Structure 1
């Protein structure tokens, strides 16, 4: 009996040691500083990836919140409502769109807390998991419909610094189908070289995520109109929810383009780029949303 108990204790200790080493390596891989543009993936929560099954319909949205510092006294948009009120209105906009997944940009710490408070039925990533380089870009999703299986980020140049653009792998609870949502915010203004580099890195990641057939959706503030669309369509197999085509040689952009885009796989419908009354005082961007069906 003593030998059996000793053997059992030894086996348990060995299992715990292996698990601890694996967990430590996973955490170190996630938080280790990168040298130059890089990607990182957090440990997967579940292994199953299902790329087909019953049809799945989603409502997607991209929303630049306008960072809270912009509406403080002396800020670029100090004529607009303060951040706390704008966060309440932003949550209303998400509910009005009945959005399942939302990519948000220019998110400050107090805005993270506000959206978590205002939208308790939504989960959020990365929150603060990607550090200060990743905090401005967040993804939220309807927690009653989806569970997160995996996540990561791509580092891109931005205004002379580096930002981490997050992506998540979500699983629909009813159909078990999975898809990626990738949220980006590329360099503004005259920083064309950075924007070009951003899209090279981002489209490379999309193709990597698409390798096993899993649908990918790319949304965010591209700070570009037709050039961004043509680049994404030329470099990936994604389609534009706003319309527009690239036949391999010629790119035709849609009318009424915005700098906020949603691309992806599937059949798009009910695309809308709107500025309802709440949005006019909540953000300096248009609210872009679309439905998509995965067959």
Structure 2
């Protein structure tokens, strides 16, 4: 269909008659588009500085999430009759506990390959790292986080001694998708029972790792089955800015660990971090899954200071 071409709309103005002339004034026309363009240009020139002056600055933003730690009790510890259920069944219960409690980031210890497969299948909304990328010994420690809330933007590991073997300690750098803020998570498992020298050596390396990550200016969180109570807490908090989710006073009279009954499972976080709702969870599903508590807490990362 052909459309009729419209004639330009015109506005009418009146010119005064020349000096000394007789008769009515003559009219002339100016296109409306030109007049509007002139008005718009003037208003932009006059109004732009005012709008720029009142435009608000973007406020530094804090963010929060729930963080936890859990020793899943590896499959090899429950093979045969009696005791706990098979490792894969317990991994299913573990995945259910993590999702049911709304944990957003969690460090897992003693994971084995059959359990890793179950965790991946049962936690489709989480990414789990390092998976199998650090070899068989690297499977034992995993960091899981919600994919729709965080994006992994960096990762690495350090090697420490564990039960007469060398094992990688993994860390990730995560970016909060809503605020673009970044932070680190380190997952730790240190030697059990009488292997004090291995624990001391591993803790010293973990302290240096936290110090190195903190120099990047981002908060650091550490989840751990440290197989130590007071000693691990005092060493870690004396040489870093980490604080325990369950309290304590790192530098008061040397070191005062949390007053409640001490555990070997820890959640710690750095400066500008506030913990709340700390729990040592031994619900029915957790008790059937492992001989450890599922430790979790809410955390709030405070806004950045301006300038």
What's the TM-score, normalizing by structure 2?
A: 0.77
Give the match for residue 280 of structure 1. 287
Q: Distance in 2 between matches of 1:213 and 1:53?
A: 15
Give the match for residue 262 of structure 1. 267
Secondary structure, aligned partner of 1:243: coil
Q: CA deviation at 1:202?
A: 0.3
The structure 2 residue matched to 1:232, chosen from 229, 232, 236, is: 236
Give the match for residue 63 of structure 2. 56
Secondary structure, aligned partner of 1:124: strand
Give the match for residue 134 of structure 1. 138
Superposed CA offset, 1:261-287 (max 9, x none) = 011120011111121011111101011
Q: CA deviation at 1:249?
A: 4.8
Q: Distance in 2 between matches of 1:274 and 1:133?
A: 28
Q: CA deviation at 1:253?
A: 1.2
Q: CA deviation at 1:133?
A: 2.4
1:113-132 correspondence to structure 2 within 5 Å? 113-132=117-136
What RMSD, in angstroms, separates the aligned Cα atoms of the two structures? 1.2
The structure showing larger relative contact order (alpha-carbon pairs under 8 Å, at least 6 residues apart) is 1
Contact between 2:243 and 2:250, CA under 8 Å: does it hold in 1?
no
User: CA, structure 1 residues 204+211, in 2 after alignment: closer, same or farther (shift >3 Å)?
Assistant: same
The structure 1 residue matched to 2:212, chosen from 203, 208, 213, is: 208
Q: Distance in 1 between matches of 2:83 and 2:233?
A: 32
Q: CA deviation at 1:96?
A: 2.2
Q: CA deviation at 1:248?
A: 6.4
Runs of 4+ in structure 1 over 4 Å off? none
Secondary structure, aligned partner of 1:91: helix
Equivalent pairs counted in the alignment come to 241
Secondary structure, aligned partner of 2:268: strand
Q: CA deviation at 1:200?
A: 0.4
Matched, 1:222 2:222: no
Q: Distance in 2 between matches of 1:200 and 1:86?
A: 33
Q: CA deviation at 1:132?
A: 1.7
Secondary structure, aligned partner of 2:238: helix
Contact between 1:152 and 1:166, CA under 8 Å: does it hold in 2?
yes
Matched, 1:100 2:100: no
Secondary structure, aligned partner of 1:174: coil
The structure 1 residue matched to 2:115, chosen from 111, 125, 131, is: 111
Superposed CA offset, 1:137-193 (max 9, x none) = 000100010010000011001111111010000001111010000001000001111
Matched, 1:155 2:182: no
Contact between 2:68 and 2:105, CA under 8 Å: does it hold in 1?
yes
Contact between 1:97 and 1:289, CA under 8 Å: does it hold in 2?
no
Q: CA deviation at 1:218?
A: 0.4
Contact between 1:273 and 1:289, CA under 8 Å: does it hold in 2?
yes
The structure 1 residue matched to 2:202, chosen from 198, 213, 218, is: 198
Superposed CA offset, 1:102-140 (max 9, x none) = 100101001111000000000011001111221100001
Matched, 1:183 2:190: no
